[in-house]
Structure 1
Amino acid sequence: MPGSLKTLVFAYVRSKNKQALQNMRELRRQLLEPLQSTSSINAAQSRESIHEDLRVIEEGLEQLATERLKK
């Protein structure tokens, strides 16, 4: 999945679709919230995966911001 997410983020960066990246980031933050507060299951792997997704999305948003500053 991380490879496909990177591909999707790259496509959004290439098409300058900041809103789609922000929506992806918000969805993952919403998914992460209940996992942060649960103790009834071991959600460590899910949390790690979502944090990695967020890292990739943030990199995409940074690339867009950098491109905007260059213009």
Structure 2
Amino acid sequence: MPSAIELIVSGYVSLNDLRMQRRKQAVELKARTGFDWRTTIQQIEEDIIVIEAGLAQLDGAATT
């Protein structure tokens, strides 16, 4: 069974991966033509904001 710290680190790594995946999706959708992707791109960008806020909280907690 993983320790608490292993689970925390795993979650942190997953958030970083999720942020990178969302950024890539936004770039790919912005490059597509023939369909209005604005709503989807907006949701992805909102997801990125939430993910980055969570990462910032984790970073802040790590420095205290």
Tell me, what secondary structure is at the counterpart of 2:46? Answer: helix
The alpha carbon displacement at 1:39 in A equals 2.7
Aligned length: 56
Q: Does 1:32 align with 2:23?
A: no
Q: Distance in 2 between matches of 1:33 and 1:45?
A: 14
Give, in whole Å, the separation in 2 of the partners of 1:37 and 1:31: 10
Could you list the runs of 4 or more consecutive aligned residues of structure 1 that deviate by over 4 angstroms after TM superposition?
none
**Superposition deviation, residue 40 in structure 1:** 1.3
Identity between Structure 1 and Structure 2 (%): 27
Matched residue SS, 1:68? helix
RMSD: 1.2
Alignment gaps of 5+ in structure 2 = 1-7
Instruction: Describe the superposition over 1:5-32 as per-residue Cα deviations: whole angstroms up to 9, x where unpaired.
Output: xxxxxxxxxx452101001101111211
Distance 2:49 2:21 in 1: 14
Q: Distance in 1 between matches of 2:22 and 2:44?
A: 6
**Greater Rg over alpha carbons, structure:** 2
Q: Is 1:46 matched up with 2:40?
A: yes
The higher-RCO structure (CA 8 Å, 6+ apart) is 1
Q: TM-score, normalised by structure 1?
A: 0.72
